[in-house]
Structure 1
């Protein structure tokens, strides 16, 4: 039990003529550092933060100190092998190391890019932390098959702790109670123990590292562990400590569900895509990727910015069943190609304040990327992270101000068109000369199959050519047509909030009239009518173009600001979010 052995004691039971062995073991759970309520009432909560005080309160030792104690026992003739320790003792030690190492790395990393007058993020600014409470137990209640004292947690907390430590699930079979996860030098295995429940064991098989691979300590990480994603449309007044929908269907775009192909298909239905688009994810004979899997594009367009200001942590658990492989494309080159296209007169983008702002944002971002190459921390310097964060905030401001029903239609038409082009058989039937035209840089790409044929230095340019010269035109035409049809149809079943009277939203809206909670009631604005003429149509086309260009830039910035481990993929377990099923750590 390590230092927890100091809490064990023997109580004499005279009526039974024996001693009862009582001891205390930890209850481990995940919560914000500001939390004051734990699973055990009237017991103090101690947070794991890697400081000497936390080590003392949680009765833990850092790994090298623990090894020194074990070595001293061996020299004194007491042989204490690694497997003689309860694995929860090792878990607490590694969690303390995680906080200590990541804090030291961030301090060094931030000193090479953060202005001296800007304070670093401290532990209290996190919204995700591991906490411990001591629980009294008696050896009399231990199952006969358990030979060591065990720690207690809940299924949801164990999954979240594993994600925080960089451990990724390889097998998660609840039908046969077989669980195995690996990563960052750890192996976590679980099985059913008779008369107790599911018990997990942590083992160390290699060297762990908690630097740039440290998961961002924010509360939304809990949702990512189960395939749920908070979006920019999420209300900020929601109590994030309570899970609202573990077994319910999502009703709006406050959350995306991306944990399996079926869940992604349901998300496409939520966006109101057509049946063909949803069925692409239900079929084994279709493609879901261009340079990278499409769910990551949806994640970047609508996902909430999770990076903490003045923090260097970027890693997140992967909420999708796809690998995030950055070896097949260069997202920095995509940003530079975006800047060229949005500034190019050939793209036929309408003039407007948002397009001008996007040109400025893209130019600033390209400058930051070039400056980043010569920084002391090339790759992801703190000024670059702050620039990306600032551009994301500007994009969010615009998307929150425009009509969200129009935003939804643009997102819908975009994914319908991209999935259609990816699975278009006509492009795949062309001859080799047609496929290789973009490799030589002679023509603009006309089909997504040309991305794989293009050389690595031209692949990003081909991608942006397809998006700006082919996808945008189709999205603009269809989104404008769909939006005008919805606005002029008296009895429509769209997700528009409110009733349409004349040219403005009626202020008298009752809850029964809200067709979808996706949208909040917007300020009265003028929408084009069927008899408004070409000027109104051009205005709406300008809005659609601005929204589409904003979403694409937001996607690129979000995927640059956040990162996923290549080996991490989501195994479907969405129904376990918030699960308080007791599980045990050997």
Structure 2
């Protein structure tokens, strides 16, 4: 019995021990699991920045994020992809990242997928807004470059759809509507792998990368105009078309820009022409009609070099405009007019726009409706104070006026009369079109006239030096008359009259007192009765002096006058001038044997005087003075019509004013978009 009792007592003790052991095992397992979970949590927590790469921040780009375990450091590294944004032609196959595929922003579904962007409609639906393009104030956690990519896609899509509708509203055209491949300016991206380990301390969101020049170009394409661009204080602010762009310096990184939407956006007739020359206009450079199309232009070198010819003009600031006047060989007074804040720089509109219209390259894409360009000048383009259409009508009346004796009856003048008459008819038809103001027949007609003007100005029958003389004398005379307070020289009553008609304006100051209906007529009367006469006379005189006077020309001349003539050690005598008048003889300079020997030993070149250029073919068999007068008048009339057509074919936003930044043309300074 005792044994049974003892045995029973022992069994109960063993049972209690088993329970205790099981409880201890469970507690140990729980502790082990807790420890393991704590260790695992610490490893996972070592993946810093993973939560900052979510869909709410990066949109579809969040799919690229991943953790990578670094065994040597016993931690996880967060890797992700962000875009490198740049601007190039659609056919470009070389990007900043070698070997990476380039995706272009063209507004199509394929482009949305490749760039991992959302269309404006998809983004609005995702944000659960009531209306498309409504301002969002609750999605500030999203990276601004995600919104930028979405807006760039919408820009291409909306402007393309608008142009298709515009094309349908106009009469059937022989040429097709230009598509995306006809553009020479497009936004492209490449995906770049990044690590959160390299993120600066103060940056909490992944950022996109671009360069300063590409940022300026993208801002111009989207209709964003710079209001503040202070590099000394690192303050940058631009706004326009419902967008807001600000920039500041971030320690350990560099310039960081933030893109925001603050209002409604629109990409229709206000869309900037997608051409490569927009890159230059953003920084105040202008390509001219004399630029060679096959010229290999390396823009990154331009800011460090002064322009040597009329291929480019710098108009980004009053100082640069003054230097451009020196480039076209204007006198010092004309350059000083732009250096001074006390002088006037405009008549109906600022004079630099006149230079832009006379020499600027035609940038509109054939058969396209886009006309907007970035303003390369520091002046406001406000069309409320003048009417370009009326100016063209007044031009036609003046060039067809037989009372104006300064207009010669030569073939080029007859062509200009026909072009002006044709334009007046197209302008009248434009009022009755479905798209008044910018109908396709009108734009194409302006484009055709510009092509014919360029063919004349660049043709073999036109002397390039005479063209330069006419341009120079025109702006010298216009700027003098704008700032002349004493009236015209040689006038006793301050007015000149046409036979049997009322007096015409003698100074540009009188245009401000003219009524809007009379203003354009007075302007053209002043140009044809005053400016043309002075320009023709001064240009011909200067041209003949340059052709007949043997001197060392400037660096802008096509031929040098100084050659190495140390072997002969003599100065050649000039030949007779083109006009038949002997040139002024050069007095012989007496030399001594010792001086001559020292010069020879030092290899000092002597002056070699070239004979004058041969008389152009079109002047042979004619009186040279009469022919030059006719040619100069034809060049001036062509330049004036070209100016009117160029300014009517292209357009600028009056809120867009150039802030001097010419040295940033082609700048590859890295900047970042938050």
Q: 2:664 is matched with which residue?
A: 576
2:625 to 532, 537, 553: 537
2:558 to 467, 491, 497: 497
Partners of 1:503 and 1:525 within 8 A in 2: no
1:365-406 C-alpha deviation (Å, 9 max, x unpaired):
111100100001000100000000000000000000111110
Q: 2:427 is matched with which residue?
A: 369
1:17, CA displacement in angstroms?
A: 2.5
Which fold has the larger relative contact order, with Cα–Cα distance below 8 Å and residues 6 or more apart in sequence? 1
Q: Tell which deviates more after alignment, 382-391 or 107-116.
A: 107-116
Q: 2:478 is matched with which residue?
A: 418
Determine whether 1:525 maps to 2:616.
yes
1:202-221 C-alpha deviation (Å, 9 max, x unpaired):
01000010000000000000
1:118, CA displacement in angstroms?
A: 2.2
1:86, CA displacement in angstroms?
A: 0.2
1:283-311 C-alpha deviation (Å, 9 max, x unpaired):
11100000000000000000000000011
Determine whether 1:191 maps to 2:248.
yes
1:5 to 59, 62, 66: 62
Partners of 1:219 and 1:240 within 8 A in 2: no
2:448 to 386, 390, 397: 390
- Name structure 1 gaps, 5 residues minimum: 73-78, 505-511, 516-521
2:646 to 547, 550, 558: 558
Change (3 A) 1:368 1:335: same
Q: 1:172 is matched with which residue?
A: 229
Q: 2:336 is matched with which residue?
A: 279
Q: 1:76 is matched with which residue?
A: none
In structure 1, C-alpha distance between the alignment counterparts of 2:465 and 2:557, rounded to whole Å: 6
1:244, CA displacement in angstroms?
A: 3.7
State the aligned residue count: 557
SS at 2:194 equivalent = strand
1:232-243 matches, within 5 Å, as 232-240=289-297, 242-243=299-300
Q: 1:321 is matched with which residue?
A: 378
Partners of 1:486 and 1:492 within 8 A in 2: no
In structure 1, C-alpha distance between the alignment counterparts of 2:441 and 2:115, rounded to whole Å: 37
SS at 1:84 equivalent = coil
SS at 2:303 equivalent = coil
SS at 1:83 equivalent = coil
In structure 2, C-alpha distance between the alignment counterparts of 1:281 and 1:546, rounded to whole Å: 28
1:83 to 140, 150, 157: 140
Partners of 1:503 and 1:526 within 8 A in 2: no
1:243, CA displacement in angstroms?
A: 3.8
SS at 2:150 equivalent = helix
SS at 2:540 equivalent = helix
1:66, CA displacement in angstroms?
A: 1.1
Change (3 A) 1:262 1:369: same
- Name structure 2 gaps, 5 residues minimum: 1-57, 130-135, 561-573, 579-604
Q: 1:339 is matched with which residue?
A: 396
Q: 2:115 is matched with which residue?
A: 58
1:427, CA displacement in angstroms?
A: 4.2
1:507-551 C-alpha deviation (Å, 9 max, x unpaired):
xxxxx9xx9xxxxxx99724879xx9x932111100000000000
Partners of 1:427 and 1:449 within 8 A in 2: no
Change (3 A) 1:397 1:527: closer
Q: 1:207 is matched with which residue?
A: 264
Q: Tell which deviates more after alignment, 470-479 or 419-428.
A: 419-428
Larger-gyration structure (1/2): 2
In structure 2, C-alpha distance between the alignment counterparts of 1:315 and 1:419, rounded to whole Å: 28
1:5, CA displacement in angstroms?
A: 0.2
Determine whether 1:113 maps to 2:170.
yes
Partners of 1:427 and 1:447 within 8 A in 2: yes
1:139-182 C-alpha deviation (Å, 9 max, x unpaired):
01101100000000000000000000000000001011100000
Partners of 1:472 and 1:545 within 8 A in 2: yes
Partners of 1:528 and 1:537 within 8 A in 2: no
In structure 2, C-alpha distance between the alignment counterparts of 1:212 and 1:395, rounded to whole Å: 26
When normalised by structure 2's length, the TM-score is: 0.79
C-alpha RMSD over aligned residues: 2.5
SS at 2:247 equivalent = strand
